Amino acid sequence: MTEEEYAAGWAIANQGQVSIHDRKQAPGMSAVFGWVDNAFVVVQLSIQGTNISFSSRCDTHEGEYSCEHVAALLVEATQIDGGGFRVTDEVKPRDTWKAPQVAQWERTLKRLLPHVPESDEFEDEPEEEPLGIILKVVAATRFGRPTVHLNARPARRGARSPWVQTGVSWRKLSFDDRFPKEQRRAANELVMLNERAQHDLYGHVWDATDWITLNNLPGKDLREALDRIRDSGIHIVNGNANNRADVSLSEQAGSAFLDLRRSENGLTVEGIFRGPNGEADHVMALGNPPSLVAYADKPLEKAKDLYIAPLDEAIGQELKDLISAGAMVVPTEDIQDFEVRFLNSLRQVAPLRSQDNSYKVPQPARPGLLLRLEQTETGLALRFTWNYPPKSPRQKSVEREIVNSVQDKLGGDEPLGKATKNGLFPDQDLTKDQAIEFVMYLLPLLEEHPDIQIFGNESLPNYTLNSEPATVSIEAGESAGDWFDLSVEVSINGLKVPFAELLSALTLGDEYLVLDDMTVIPIDGQEFHQLRQLVQEAGELGTVSGNSIRIHRLSIDWWQELVDLGIIEAQENQWLRAMSELTNGDQLEKINLPETFTAQLRPYQEQGAAWLNFLRTHSLGGVLADDMGLGKTVQLLAGLEQARIEDPEQKFLVIAPTSVVGNWANEAKRFTPHMRVQSITSTAKKTGQSILEQIGDAQLVVTSYAIFRLSFEEFEEAGFSVLILDEAQQLKNHTSKGYKQARQLSVPCKLVVTGTPMENNLMELWALVSLAAPGLLGGQKAFKDNYQKQISDGDTERLERLKKRLRPFVLRRTKEQVVPELPAKTEQVLEVELEPAHRKAYDRRFQRVRQEVLGLVDDVDSNRFKILQSLTLLRQLALDPSLVDEGTARSAKLEMLRELMADAVAEGHKILVFSQFTSFLGKARDIAMELGIDHGYLDGATSGPKRKDMIDGFTDGQFPVFFISLKSGGFGINLTTADYCILLDPWWNPAAEAQAIDRAHRIGQTKPVYVYRLVAKDTIESKVLALQAKKTQLFNDVLGEQSDAAQSSVLSADDFLALMQ
C-alpha cells in the first residue's frame, strides 16, 4: 500500500464514510467486511506456514491489490473492540462479533484525540537520573598476538554499587526517558559510529550489542563524540576499577610517531604512542585511524586510574600495525635504499623523529605554489595548484606556511580569496578591470615570492598607469532643427584620448580605459562617474556615436550638469546662453505689460507671464501647472496680449472643455479688450460656415476639445502661432485621438495648462509634457524604462533627475507658496454609521463582491471593467441601499446632510454639495426641498445657458445651496461666494475632489472655507480614502518639493485587494 493510498484512506475514515458490516475469525484466518463510500470492501489476514498473507477486494477497484477504500477499512478495523484486526492460529470459542454500537463520529474522535486521564489516573512523572558510560579494557588475541581493546556500554546509578549495567542497554537507550534527552543523544553517537564502522568494514549493520569497541570507531568523529559526551554531563567511569573511578579526559595532547635510531647494526624503526606526559609503557590507540590514546601508570586492564587524551597530529591506521609488528632493523648497507623507497611513505603514516638524535631525518622537498595565467575574452583566468617532486609526501603545514606568507606579502583583505579545504587559493576568472588591477598591483608581488612559480605572465600586457586629471572639451555646434551636435575631445596631461573608446568604456561601465600603447587611465572617479551618467542619459534622449553626441535642444538640465562637472571646457553658443536663463525662472526678464491689458497681476503672476513669454519668443512649449484657483487664465492672457502687440497678425488657439469656452471668452474681453475674440462652439456642418469663415479676422480663437477633434483639418489650415490646451488632463491618454491631433498640430509654441498634470501615474505626465515639449523626456518606451519603472521601485536619484529635467518647462506654484493671505481651508472627515438594516444589506453584498473581485484580480487588465463595475455598485450601496435595489433602509448620510444644511443655512453660509452619482445627488436635493431651502442644481445634462444662469444665480445670492455633480463642476467655474463644501462620497482620484473644492477656495475668496467629507464607516469608502492618500503622495513626489521616492499609483491588483479587506 502506498503512502498516498494510506493518507487518502485515513481521510475517508475520519470523514465517517466507513461502516463495518461483519467480521469473521477462525484459526489461521481473520476477515472484515464493510462499506466505504458506497463501495463494498473485504480485507483478510491468513496464516500460511510461517508467514502471514494479506488479501483484499474492493468493488470500485477490482483487480487492484490495494486502494484508498481498502486503506480506509483497515484504519476503521484497527479500532474494533476485542483486539482490532488480527489473526491467530489458536482455537477460540465461536466468534459472536456484532457491529460496534459506538457511533462512527465517536469512534473517529477517540481515534484522533489524545487520551485525557481521569483525576485518579494522574501520576507524578519520574525524576530523570544521570546516565553513565562504563569503559572497560579487555584483553584479546588478534592474528595470534595478544592485544587489548577499550569497550563501552551505558550504565545507571546502582543501589549498592556506584554504577551498574543492568536495566540499561544501547538498543533501548534512545527511548529510555529515565535519562536526560541531551545525554541520551550524546551517548547514542557511539551507536551511530559503531554502525558506520560495521557498514564500512562488512557492508552490513548489526543491532548494537552490550559493548561497543572504541578502537574500531572513526577516529576524528570518536574524538568529537567523547567531547560531547563529557559536555552533556555523562559520567565516564573505569569498568576495570571496583570503585568505578571516573575516567579523565585530558585537555593535553598525546603523541604518535615513528622513532628512528641509528646503531652499529643499522637503523631501528619503531612506532610509538605516548601520553601527554611522556607515558609510553601502557598506552593504547583509540579510533580508526587513531585520534586518541588511553593510558595509565600500569597495565591498562589492571589500572584503577584511566586517562584518555587526543593526539597532537593526525596519523594513519598503519601506525597501529607497525607498532603491533614491533621494532624492525634496517641493515646499514640498506639504509640508503630504505630512504629512497620507503621514507616518504612512512611520513604519510606518522611524524618521523629520532629521540636520541642518532639519526638525522632527511627533510622532504619543499612544495611550490604553481600559478597558471590565461587570457580570456572577458579578462584573465587564474588557476592554482601545488607542485611536488615525484613520490614526495604532502606537507600541509608547509602549504599553510606558503599561503600565509603570500597573504602577508599582498596585504589587504585577502585579494586572492580565502584558501580552500585543499589548502589552495580558489581559481578565479577576473573581469577586464580586475585583470588590469591584478597585473599592475598583485602580479609584481607574486613574482617576487620564492615559493611561487608563474606560467603565462610573459604574454601579459605591460601596463603603464596615468592617473593625471582629465580635461574634457566639448564644443557645441549650431542647432540642426531640434538637435545639437556636440564634438567631444578628452586629454590627460597632454595625451589625447579617443572619445569613441572612452565612450565605449563608459557605456560598458568599465573602471579603466586602456589605450593602444597600454596606458591605463582610471575612469571610475567622481568626475567620470557623472560623465558616465550623462553619456548614458544622452543615449536615452538622443544619439551617441564616434566623437560626437547629438542631444535634444530641450535637454537644458543635461547641458548644465555637463558644465557643472568642473572638468569641462564648454563653448556655449547663443542658444545655450539664452537657455541658461530658463534654468532659473526667478531671473527671467520681467515683461512690461501693455496698457491695453487691464488686469493687475500679482508678483507670482508676473513671474509666470515672463516665463510664458520666454517660451513663446524662443518657440518653446511648457506646462503651466499652478494650483487651482491661482489665476492661470489671466497669466496666459497677459502673455497673449504681449504677443498681439508685437505682431497683430498672429492668431492664438485655446482649446478647453465645453463648459469653460464661455468663461475664456468673457475673461479675454474683460482683460484684453482690444483683442478680437471668437468662440467656436459648433462645427461647419451645423452652422453652415467653415471653421475658417467662423474665425474670420479673430486674433484669439476659443473652442472645445470636441469641436477641435471633429474639425481638426480646418484648424490645422488656420496657421496659429500659439496653442493653449486648457484643463489638458483630458488629453492624458496618449493613445486617444485628441492627444494625437494636438501632438500633430504644427504650432511654434504649445502651452499645456492644468492644475493636475498627473492624476494616476507618471505616463499621464509624460503625455502632457510630450505635447508641450516633445523630446524632453524621450519616447514613451524610453521614459517607461528610464523613469517610470525606477521611480516606482523607489529610486530617489531618478526621481530627482526627473524633477530637475522638468523644472525649466513645468511651472507649478501652490496657494500656500504664493498666496499666504488666502483664508484658511479646513478639511474634516465625518464618519457616518450605517443604519442596522443598511449595514446588513451592505455586508451581505460586500461578501458577494469580494468573492467576485478575488476571482478576477489574477487578470486585472482583462477584468478591469467588471471589477470597477462591482466596486461602483458597492460604493452606491454605501450611500443608499435603494440606489442598487437593496431595500429601502434610511441613508444615514442624507440624515447628516439634513442637519449640516439646516444649521449652515441658518447661520448664513453658502454651500456647495458634490457627488459623483447624480441619482444620489437628486436625493440630496430632495432634502433641501423638504427643508424649504432655495437651491440650484448642475450636472452633465444641464445645458450651457442653464449652467450659466445657475452659476450667476448662486454668485448673486439667489439661493444658498448649490448641488453639483463632481465631473460637471470640477473645473471652469468660480464660486468664491461659497464657504462650505460638502463631499457626499469619496472618489478614487483626489485631484478630482481638489478641483471641486477649489471652485470656492481660490483667489477672490474672503472667508475661511470648510470642507466636510462624509464617509460611511467600515465600508469601501474608508479604503478609498487610503487610496487617495497614495495618489497624493505620487503627485507631491514628482511635482512637489518632497524627495521621498513615489510608489506606483495605478489601480493594480494589490489596490483592488486592499479595497476588499
Dihedral over Cα of 975, 976, 979, 983: its sign: positive
Bridge partners of residue 136, in order along the sequence: 151
pLDDT of residue 475: 60
Q: Do 835 and 848 share a structural domain?
A: yes
Q: CA 305: distance to chain centroid? A: 63
Cβ atoms of 45 and 86 closer than 8 Å: yes
Measured in degrees and rounded to the nearest 5, phi and psi for residue 943 equal -70, 165
**Closest CA relative to residue 194, chosen from 175, 177, 183, 210:** 210
At position 416, the amino acid (one-letter code) is L
Locate 124 and state its grid cell.
507524578
Parallel, antiparallel or unpaired: strands 749-753 and 961-965: unpaired
Q: Do 634 and 669 share a structural domain?
A: yes
**Closest CA relative to residue 629, chosen from 1009, 156, 123:** 1009
Number of helical H runs and strand E runs in the chain: 37, 43
Domain assignment present for residue 892? The answer is yes
Domain assignment present for residue 127? The answer is no
Radius of gyration of the chain (CA): 47
Give the C-alpha distances (Å, rounded to integers) separating 308 from 146, 279, 285, 291. Answer: 21, 12, 10, 11
pLDDT of residue 142: 63
Locate 556 and state its grid cell.
537644458
- The Cα–Cα gap between 678 and 589 comes to 31
Cβ atoms of 148 and 137 closer than 8 Å: yes
pLDDT of residue 1048: 34
Q: At what angle do helices 3-14 and 68-77 cross, to 10 degrees?
A: 60
Q: Do 293 and 195 share a structural domain?
A: no
**Closest CA relative to residue 582, chosen from 614, 541, 545, 535:** 614
Host domain of residue 308: 255-353
Measured in degrees and rounded to the nearest 5, phi and psi for residue 666 equal -65, -45
Q: Do 594 and 547 share a structural domain?
A: no
Measured in degrees and rounded to the nearest 5, phi and psi for residue 481 equal 70, -125
Q: Do 541 and 610 share a structural domain?
A: no
User: Which CATH number fits the domain that encloses residue 712?
Assistant: 3.40.50.10810
Q: CA 813: distance to chain centroid? A: 36
Q: Do 862 and 959 share a structural domain?
A: yes
Q: Do 732 and 875 share a structural domain?
A: no
Measured in degrees and rounded to the nearest 5, phi and psi for residue 807 equal -50, -45
Domain assignment present for residue 512? The answer is yes
pLDDT of residue 566: 45
Bridge partners of residue 308, in order along the sequence: 249, 294
At position 1, the amino acid (one-letter code) is M
Neighbour count for residue 206 (Cβ, 10 Å):
9
Domain assignment present for residue 359? The answer is no
Locate 842 and state its grid cell.
451592505
Locate 809 and state its grid cell.
518647462
Give the C-alpha distances (Å, rounded to integers) separating 490 from 487, 493, 548, 841. Answer: 10, 10, 12, 75
- The Cα–Cα gap between 295 and 275 comes to 6
Domain assignment present for residue 126? The answer is no
Cβ atoms of 21 and 33 closer than 8 Å: yes
Strand (E) or helix (H) holding 902: helix 892-906
Measured in degrees and rounded to the nearest 5, phi and psi for residue 31 equal -135, 145
Domain assignment present for residue 274? The answer is yes
Domain assignment present for residue 976? The answer is yes
Locate 927 and state its grid cell.
432634502
Strand (E) or helix (H) holding 883: none
Domain assignment present for residue 383? The answer is no
- The Cα–Cα gap between 401 and 130 comes to 47
Dihedral over Cα of 465, 467, 468, 474: its sign: positive
pLDDT of residue 815: 76
pLDDT of residue 757: 77
Residues 6+ positions from 359 with CB-CB distance below 8 Å = 260, 261, 262, 267
pLDDT of residue 868: 73
Give the C-alpha distances (Å, rounded to integers) separating 617 from 17, 851, 1023. Answer: 88, 59, 48
Q: Chunk the chain into consecutive blocks of 10 residues (it has 1061) and report each block's average pLDDT, rounded to whole numbers.
A: 82 82 84 86 87 87 85 81 70 58 62 58 67 91 74 90 88 89 93 90 80 91 93 93 90 90 91 87 89 91 92 80 83 89 83 90 87 92 90 81 90 84 89 91 92 91 81 58 60 73 76 85 73 62 53 55 49 49 63 90 90 88 85 93 93 90 89 94 89 93 94 92 91 88 91 82 85 81 81 81 83 80 77 88 83 72 74 86 88 90 88 91 94 91 82 89 79 72 79 69 74 87 66 54 34 50 53
Residue written as cell 491489490?
65
Q: Do 709 and 633 share a structural domain?
A: yes
Helix, strand, or coil here: 470? strand
How many structural domains comprise the chain?
A: 7
Q: Out of 564, 582, 600, pick the residue that ends a domain.
A: 582
Q: Out of 224, 249, 274, pick the residue that ends a domain.
A: 249
- The Cα–Cα gap between 857 and 1056 comes to 7
Q: Do 783 and 840 share a structural domain?
A: no
- The Cα–Cα gap between 148 and 299 comes to 10
Locate 146 and state its grid cell.
595478544
Burial of 284 from C-beta contacts in 10 A (0-12 / 13-18 / 19+): buried
Q: Do 471 and 345 share a structural domain?
A: no
Q: Do 493 and 597 share a structural domain?
A: no
Max Cα-Cα span within the chain? 138
Q: Out of 798, 818, 838, pick the residue that ends a domain.
A: 818
Q: Do 472 and 456 share a structural domain?
A: no
